[in-house]
Each structure stands twice: as structure tokens, then as C-alpha cells.
Amino acid sequence: MTLKPQQLAAHLAKTLAPIYVVAGEEPLLIQEALDAIRAAARKAGYSEREVLDVDRSFEWQRLVDSCASLSLFATRRIVEVRMAAGPDEDGRKTLQTLAAHPPQDVLLLVVCGALDKRARDGAWFKAIEQ
């Protein structure tokens, strides 16, 4: 499901999805959406946050390992993946796999710039929307 910024608060009041893609051209709107999701996650018991910055040398297995690892201090964690644009081929496959089998006790936030129609029609994005 695709949410507009004005729909996010009502959605978060009802439920917390295992994966969110926060994308757009407006940095302030992205930050506000992330703040709202993180606040809802804290209320739901997510007490630890890990940030992974994606660049050209990023190994997507790092994300898989991070989602699969257990925390020493928290039972529920937020794993945030930040990238300038959409994911590369390995990233798309990894995100599609994680969307099909969301990690337990992990909230995955995928943060990137604006996604064009081709990216939003991609299998990885559709899998997350489901």
C-alpha cells in the first residue's frame, strides 16, 4: 500500500508494517515520515536502531545479516537502509526476499530519493507493498 504523508499518522495509529519504503524529493517530508514511523516503533517496543548507508561498494548480504542477527540489548530493532537512489540489482533481489519473508522483531526502513515509475513498478517495490 502506498501512503501519502497526510495518511501516515492514521496508518501508524492502527498498525506497524514490517517494512516501509520512504522515498521522495522533499527531505523535510522524508524526515517527518521517518520520525513518525520511529516514534510508533518505539511505542511498539523497538528500542534499538541500526543505520546502513548504501554506496557503490555496499554488500547487500550485510543487510540480510543485520536482519537475522540477534541484539544483545533489545528484542525488537529498527534496521534503516539509506541510499541516494533506488537499489541496484542485488539490492532489489535482497529487498524482494526480505519482503517475502520479513524478519521477525525487525522493522526495516528503506530510505531513498524519489523513485520513478519504473522503480515503483519493479518486483522489489511491489513485494514490499504487499
Model pLDDT, residue 73: 67
Strands 106-112 and 77-82, how do they pair? parallel
Q: What is the pLDDT of residue 74?
A: 61
* C-beta separation of 130 from 42 below 8 A: no
Select from 39, 34, 44, 108 the least CA-distant residue to 75.
Answer: 44
pLDDT at site 55: 92
pLDDT confidence tier of residue 85, bands split at 50, 70 and 90: confident
Question: Is the per-residue pLDDT at 129 higher than 90?
Answer: no
User: Could you tell me which residues are beta bridge partners of residue 23?
Assistant: 112
> What is the average pLDDT value for the chain, to the nearest integer?
91
- Judge if pTM exceeds 0.85: yes
> Would the pLDDT of 91 be above 80?
yes
Rounded Cα–Cα distance for residues 90 and 18 (Å): 21
